[in-house]
Amino acid sequence: MAADKIEEYITHVNDLSNLQLLVAIPNIEKQDKDFADWFAKICLTSTDKIQYCTINYLPDMDYTYGSKSKFCIKRDINNIRGKD
């Protein structure tokens, strides 16, 4: 994680977009794994990815640490709209 991003990530730690990432069972399965790696492992097909993203209000984007701020903004919008 880039040192200049630490404060930005800390600012978003309690945002709904961050806290509401995963329901209980997937959250337990994921634990401390990198989200992008874990997501690629559980969603093997495009259909799996679309379905998972739709159910969990995840924006269609790159899930890397560098995209965290963009992710929070898009996820907040998806939660408000109730869709992607």
Count of structural domains within the chain: 1
> Which has the higher per-residue pLDDT, 65 or 45?
45
Angle at 55 between CA 78 and CA 31, to 5 degrees: 100
Rounded Cα–Cα distance for residues 68 and 74 (Å)? 10
30-48: per-residue pLDDT in tens?
777 888 888 899 899 999 9
Closest CA to 25 of 37, 42, 40: 42
Q: Which domain holds residue 50?
A: 3-81
Q: Is the pLDDT of residue 24 over 70?
A: no
Tell me the mean pLDDT in the region 6-20: 67
24 membership: H or E segment, kind and range: helix 24-30
